Amino acid sequence: MLAQMFGAWLAWYDLSPAKTRNFGLTIISQVFELITGDYLFDPQSGTKYGKDDDHIAQVIELLGTFPKSLCVGGKWSQEIFNRKGELRNIHRLRHWALPDVLREKYHFSIEESKRIAEFLLPMLELLPADRANAGGMAGHGFLEGTKGMDCVKLEIEPGTKGEGIDGWATEIKKQR
């Protein structure tokens, strides 16, 4: 059922390789909201931290520690992270893996939680070079047999990282 709902939504989008390079994060956020009714990340300001701090903390809780290159290399990194790559203003994190979130908070079965996470997590990789191409994920088994997806056949292997997409290699080289 979830795959069918998502497939109908996805069929509206242009999944040509050139347009799916950075599309994964948008897809994930919207799919998560469609299947749970909640935002994937819903940062709030606190007395000792801002929304940006909380947003990064929520990402770390779900996906794990940020690679050091992201902690020190961003325009605003020094405001969020210290020199060790730790959050400056938030110190207690509760790590909660996506399959566990889906099972414990939203009451999906163990199998369904795993299927959803196997589909979404490759597009949530923190490093863009490691992130799965959303166009390729259109061929993922999670969407098999989904209404609206039967005509969507891209020649991109599910889970590929963007090789073959014009400009992808150039963008990755700039970051390294």
The CATH code of the domain at 2-175 is 1.10.510.10
Query: Across the chain, what does the average pLDDT equal?
Result: 79
Q: Which of 2-6, 53-57, 59-63, 170-174 is predicted least confidently?
A: 2-6
Terminal CA-CA length for the chain: 41
Q: Where are the domains of the chain?
A: 2-175
Q: Contact, 132 vs 121, CB < 8 A? A: no
pTM listed for this prediction: 0.77
Query: Phi/psi class of residue 23: alpha, beta or left (left: φ > 0; alpha: ψ in -120 to 50)?
Result: alpha
Determine the pLDDT at residue 158.
74
CA nearest neighbour of 23 among 114, 131, 169: 131
Cβ(23)–Cβ(135) below 8 Å: yes
Pick the residue with more confidence: 17 or 162? Answer: 162
In this structure, what are the phi and psi dihedrals at residue 64, rounded to the nearest 5 degrees?
A: 100, 180
**Residue bearing tokens 């060790």:** 84
What's the pLDDT tens digit per position in 42-83?
A: 999 999 999 999 999 999 999 999 888 888 887 888 899 998
